[in-house]
Amino acid sequence: MTDPVLIEVTRNGQVESRHCGMVAISDANGGLVAGIGDFARPVFPRSAVKALQALPLVASGLAEKLGLGAPEIALACASHSGEPAHVTTAQGMLARVGRDENCLECGAHWPMNQDAMRAMARRGETPHAGHNNCSGKHAGFVCLACAAGHDPAGYIDPDHPVQQQVRAALVRMTDTPHEPVNRGIDGCSIPTYAVPLESLARAFARFGSGERMPADYAQAARVIRNAVAQAPFMVAGTGRFDTRVMERFCDRVFMKTGAEGVYCATIPERGLGIAVKCADGTTRASEAIMARILSALLARDDDERAFLDDLAHAPLTNWNTITVGALRPADALNDALARIS
Applying CB under 8 A, the residues found at the interface with a copy of itself are 2-5, 9, 11-12, 14, 16-20, 42-44, 105-110, 114, 117-119, 121-122, 124, 132, 182-189, 192, 194, 260-261, 279-282, 285, 318-322, 324-325
Strands annotated E in 178-306: 183-185, 191-193, 195-196, 254-258, 262-267, 272-278
Among residues 96 and 277, whose Cβ is nearest to a copy of itself?
277
**What are the CA-CA distances from residue 322 to residues 11, 215, 317, 319, 325 (Å)?**
12, 52, 5, 7, 9
Report DSSP letters for 280-337, one per residue.
T--HHHHHHHHHHHHHHHT--SHHHHHHHHHHHTPEEE-TT--EEEEEEE-HHHHHHH
Closest distance between a copy of itself and the C-beta of residue 19, in Å? 5
Among residues 192 and 266, whose Cβ is nearest to a copy of itself?
192
Output DSSP code: residue 243: H
Closest distance between a copy of itself and the C-beta of residue 223, in Å? 29
**What are the CA-CA distances from residue 168 to residues 6, 162, 266, 306, 309 (Å)?**
33, 10, 21, 40, 37
Among residues 53 and 209, whose Cβ is nearest to a copy of itself?
53
Closest distance between a copy of itself and the C-beta of residue 321, in Å? 8
Identify the three-state secondary structure at position 215. Answer: helix
Among residues 55 and 116, whose Cβ is nearest to a copy of itself?
116
Contact yes or no for 209/223 (Cβ under 8 A): no
Among residues 44 and 207, whose Cβ is nearest to a copy of itself?
44
Identify the three-state secondary structure at position 194. Answer: coil
Closest distance between a copy of itself and the C-beta of residue 64, in Å? 30
Is 339 buried (19+), middle (13-18) or exposed (0-12) by CB count in 10 A? Answer: exposed
Among residues 5 and 203, whose Cβ is nearest to a copy of itself?
5
Closest distance between a copy of itself and the C-beta of residue 101, in Å? 13
Among residues 71 and 191, whose Cβ is nearest to a copy of itself?
191
Contact yes or no for 63/240 (Cβ under 8 A): no
Closest distance between a copy of itself and the C-beta of residue 81, in Å? 15
Among residues 214 and 281, whose Cβ is nearest to a copy of itself?
281
Closest distance between a copy of itself and the C-beta of residue 70, in Å? 27
Contact yes or no for 75/93 (Cβ under 8 A): yes
Contact yes or no for 236/80 (Cβ under 8 A): yes
Residue 124 makes CB contacts below 8 A (sequence gap 6+) with none
Closest distance between a copy of itself and the C-beta of residue 219, in Å? 33
Among residues 223 and 327, whose Cβ is nearest to a copy of itself?
327
Closest distance between a copy of itself and the C-beta of residue 140, in Å? 17
Identify the three-state secondary structure at position 230. Answer: helix
